[in-house]
Amino acid sequence: MTQPSFHNLEKTIGIHFKNKDLLAQALTHRSAVRQSKVGGHNERFEFLGDAVLELIATEHLFSMGQKSEGEMTNLRSALVNRENLASVAKDIKLGEYLFISRGEERSGGREKDSTLANAVEALIGALYLDQGFDATQTFCHEFILTRLNQLMALGKDRDEKSLFQEKAQEVEGVTPHYDVIEEEGPDHDKTFTCAVFIGETKVATGCGNSKQKAEQAAAKAALKKKGWK
């Protein structure tokens, strides 16, 4: 199994990495770590890229004017969520450059939204390490932040938890609540499963690498189950 050439990817994003090993590891899925020549997978890069992207998005939204904290939080969530980042990955054909195992490939790993979104975050982390904040900010503006108006037009700035709460209060007169029902993995790499309840009734569950993301995933599943979105 050989690592794909990144020439076309670098051409697409207009950036040439000084250290190709950083880019290679950022695009190495954990399923392929044993075959990787770079000695690791991309989850640490994903962790860094997530934080860098949040800072860049926050700074951008803050500079837009007098938006409330709640408005900025929802807009930032729309920009950095899995759906939007996976769409970015598809636009730049990032899935073609992922180093994944044959089993992951057979299961459609190159097209999974979670894998693609994580790869975008990892790419941002690698870019930050390779070329610093300014170059990373330029990339994020060109490929992610420019989607803001489109996301707002589609109502994507309304996060699922807020929408589900509004609908639950409107339709059933009850405020939903969330409980963590499972935690897996070591402290530095936990996966949380949260359930959302209306009264005593469990409506849906969701998973994520933080409680907040798991709650959002549960709310999204609950909206679909209830037919409220």
**Residues with active-site annotation:** 50, 121
Number of neighbours of residue 159 by Cβ within 10 angstroms: 22
Alpha-helix runs per DSSP H in 92-175 = 102-106, 113-143, 148-153, 160-172
- CB-side neighbour CA atoms (13 Å) of 39: 2
How far is it, in rounded angstroms, from Cα 14 to Cα 91? Answer: 14
Token pair, residue 41, equals 């997978």
